[in-house]
Amino acid sequence: MPVTYVNIEWPDNKTDQVYSPSSIVEDYFSSGQEITVEEFLSTCNTALNEASERVRQKYGYACTSAQAESHRINELCQTYEHSKKVKIVSIK
């Protein structure tokens, strides 16, 4: 289960990195993609929940790091207008 990072650019041009314990995020995001903050938040929560569930299936417990990352992203998204765009710079 490879750890994967989604490198993003927020609407104010700040860069950030979203941690995922699973490469499942590649099914939800693609490099160069631009989506609204609202869509990013929803998609990120879905992807991180699925990543955490994959950890549960493999190891018998949820990934608290994925849950913490989801919480962090939720907090950050509240600081931007939901119609603004988030850019997916790369996925590694």
Percent of the chain with pLDDT over 70: 99
The pLDDT assigned to 60 comes to: 95
pTM strictly above 0.85: yes
**Cα–Cα distance for residue pair 31/44, rounded to 1 Å:** 14
**E strand segments, 1-92:** 4-9, 15-20, 34-36, 85-91
Mean pLDDT across the chain, nearest whole number? 96
What's the one-letter identity of residue 58? K
CA dihedral 24, 65, 10, 33 (to 10 degrees): 0
φ and ψ at 23, to 5 degrees?
Answer: -75, 0
